[in-house]
């Protein structure tokens, strides 16, 4: 009985924080709400018994990405006081598109059925992930490392001050 209560609690937290992220005027507050939403997603991973992913989520998203976003907001600071409106001129169309997509997805999900199994999660998932990353998935793994390197060098070059 505890699991559904936890699930509903964390789902409402994630969706509530996400709504605040996209509607708050102050970008700095939006970044803090984003951290809350990312923690909630990590909690959902734990409910799904993907503990490794929950830790990775907190390390990468909360530890790195959210910090980077906060830095970028502070570096572009005068946006915060000049920007009164949070939404642009097409927010009505955007809201309509989002609601229609959600209605479509719920319609599809309510009709579909998946071959779910009730097997327990494998106890050796974390060693399995480690082995898979250096055997079956070694090429995506190496490509991801090159991508991160290129992204890092590119970010430094683009954001560098030019004389």
Partner 1 sequence: MVIPLAWYLIVAAALFCIGLYGALARRNAIGILMGIELMLNAVNINLVAFWRYVRPQMLTGQLFAIFVMTVAAAEVAVGLALVIAIYRSRDTVNVEEIDLLRG
Pull the structure tokens for residue 126.
């974390």
Can you tell me which of 117, 135, 139, 163 binds partner 1, judged by CB under 8 A? 117
- Shortest CB 13 distance to partner 1, Å: 11
φ/ψ of 145, rounded to 5, equals -65, -40
Sites for partner 1 among residues 69-108 (CB under 8 A) = 69, 71-73, 75-76, 78-79, 83, 85-91, 93-95, 97-99, 101-102, 105-106
Pull the structure tokens for residue 66.
């959210």
Contact partners, residue 52, CB within 8 Å, separation at least 6: 125, 126, 129
Per-residue binder mask for partner 1 (CB under 8 A), 19-48, x = binder:
x-xx----x--xx--x--xx--x--xx-xx
Binding of partner 1 by 14 (CB under 8 A) = yes
Q: Alpha-carbon distance 134 to 32, whole Å?
A: 36
Binding of partner 1 by 135 (CB under 8 A) = no
Binding of partner 1 by 138 (CB under 8 A) = no
Residue 88 CA to its chain's centroid (Å): 23
Site residue total, partner 1 (CB under 8 A):
89
Residue 39 CA to its chain's centroid (Å): 9
Per-residue binder mask for partner 1 (CB under 8 A), 51-70, x = binder:
-xx--xx--xx--xx--xx-
Pull the structure tokens for residue 139.
């090429």
Binding of partner 1 by 158 (CB under 8 A) = yes
């Amino acid at each position: 009985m505890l699991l559904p209560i936890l699930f509903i609690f964390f789902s409402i937290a994630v969706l509530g924080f996400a709504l605040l992220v996209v509607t708050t005027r102050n970008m700095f507050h939006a970044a803090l709400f984003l951290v809350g939403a990312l923690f909630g997603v990590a909690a959902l991973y734990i409910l799904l018994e993907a503990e490794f992913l929950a830790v990775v989520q907190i390390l990468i998203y909360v530890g790195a990405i959210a910090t980077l976003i906060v830095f970028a907001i502070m570096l572009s600071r005068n946006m915060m006081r000049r920007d009164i409106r949070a939404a642009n001129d097409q927010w009505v169309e955007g809201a309509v598109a989002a609601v229609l997509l959600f209605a479509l997805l719920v319609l599809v999900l309510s009709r579909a059925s998946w071959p779910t199994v009730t097997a327990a999660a494998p106890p050796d998932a974390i060693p399995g992930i480690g082995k898979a990353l250096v055997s079956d998935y070694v090429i995506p793994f190496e490509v991801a490392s090159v991508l991160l390197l290129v992204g890092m060098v590119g970010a430094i070059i683009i954001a560098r001050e030019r004389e």
